[in-house]
Amino acid sequence: MPRGTVRIGIVGAGGIVRSRHVPGFRAIRGVELVGVCNRRRDSSARAARELGLAKTYGNWEEVIQDPTVDAVLIGAWPYLHCPVTLAALDAGKHVLTQARMAMNAREAQRMLDRTRELPGQVAMVVPSPYGLAGEAFVRSLIAEGFLGNLREVHVDGLTDELADPEVPLSWRQKTRYSGFNMLTLGILHETVQRWLSPPVRVLAYASKLITERFDPESSKLKPVGTPDSVQVLATHEDGSVATYRLSAVLWGGRSLSVALHGSEGSLFYDLLKDEIRGVRRGEESPRVLPIPEALRGGWRAEADFIAAIRGERPVTHTDFATGARYMQFTEAVARSSRHQVPVTLPLKEFSNPSL
């Protein structure tokens, strides 16, 4: 197969699968999309028709059992990521799973452990798209001493997506589908960890400011399951500290940004514009630092997955070890906010995923 066709079966053809993964895979020579399975047969048939796929499956187990499928793309919600991944790996399939990696840290660790037992299969999590353009440039600035010794990190993920109480309940606000994943915590933490030392301590406060919403699935008003406002304080191995401000109930649009503050300078990354500004000690105000073309990155998840299958290069964005680490961070935030105590990382046990 390294030199032949890679045939991919799809479990869950949601928006990202349709807009990014399907076009991305079809742009690669020697890749074939075999078929699709959604939650319902009518949805599977519609997705196959709209995406031009020849086959539909009655359930995700049929995708795993199909001998013509070499790799499985999991675009379903997090509650299926672990069972589908484990079954696919056991069946000798390669796996690309949508983020977030799993429902909780225990599931993520099970997935990571299984990949270590089966090194012949490629296992990859769809990476955070934020900061890919400037990732290498920021890393080079840090290596050259632009920041000096890192002191503070400020991470903002602010939106108005849930500011209106009339916005219906989505799967992301149902813990049975999303687990401990909340707002943009996981995706932003994955982004900043490309530049930081690992977190060793977390203190968090999470709120459900709008406690009930209309649930289209049941046609009833239901309690909201996951927070719509989250604040996190974190300490890293190198002694630097981070603050995360996450909210989906603020009017005024969307703001996703990272600020890195050191002894010699500061860097400000607008993740929506891919604009980086910097200021050094003695300078009055930040200036734009254009990303050099030689260092500019971008989205290439599908190409990276296929290249790993073909043995051309290992997975870097994002392997299961990275995914398991950010799932531990997400769970630490959930535990800390629930019990109002600091939580040490890495977690020492995963015995109580429901807290």
User: What are the structural domains, with CATH classification, of the chain?
Assistant: 6-128+300-318 (3.40.50.720), 135-289 (3.30.360.10)
Q: Which residues pair with 10 in a beta bridge?
A: 36, 73
The pLDDT, as a whole number, for residue 350 is: 79
Question: How is 55-78 classified by DSSP, letter by letter?
Answer: EE-SSHHHHHH-TT--EEEE-S-G
Which residues touch 151 (CB under 8 Å, ≥6 apart)?
240, 241, 261, 262, 263
Cβ atoms of residues 323 and 331 within 8 Å: no
Question: Residue 240's pLDDT is what?
Answer: 98
* Joined tokens for residue 299: 């989205």
List the structure tokens of 221.
């008003």
pTM for this prediction: 0.94
pLDDT at 1: 46
Please give the pLDDT value at position 77: 96
- Between CA 99 and CA 323 the distance in angstroms is 8
- Rounded distance between C-alpha atoms, residue 223 and residue 228, angstroms: 12
Q: How many CB atoms lie within 10 A of CB 50?
A: 12
Q: How far is CA 274 from CA 11, 24, 291, 331, 352, in A?
A: 31, 21, 9, 29, 39
Q: What is the DSSP string of 240-278?
A: -EEEEEEES--SS--EEEEEEEESSEEEEEETTTTEEEE
Residue 54, sorted as left (phi over 0), alpha (psi -120 to 50) or beta, turns out to be alpha
Tell me how far apart the alpha carbons of residues 168 and 166 are, in angstroms, rounded to a whole number. 6
Q: CB neighbours of 300 closer than 8 A, spacing ≥ 6?
A: none
**pLDDT at residue number 309:** 97
How would you list the strands of the sheet with 71-74, edge to edge? Answer: 55-56, 31-37, 6-11, 71-74, 94-97, 123-125
Angle between helix 320-339 and helix 185-192 axes, rounded to 10 deg: 130
Alpha-carbon distances of 201 from 22, 75, 211, 336, 346, rounded to whole Å: 39, 32, 29, 10, 9
User: Mean pLDDT in runs of 10 for the chain (355 residues)?
Assistant: 81 95 97 96 94 96 97 97 98 97 96 96 98 98 98 98 97 95 97 98 98 97 97 98 98 96 98 98 97 97 97 96 97 96 94 55
The amino acid occupying position 38 is N
pLDDT of residue 4: 81
Given 3-state DSSP classes, what are the helix, strand and coil percentages for the chain, each rounded to the nearest 5? 30, 25, 45
Q: How far is CA 349 from CA 102, 331, 345, in A?
A: 16, 11, 10
Q: How far is CA 194 from the centre of its chain?
A: 13
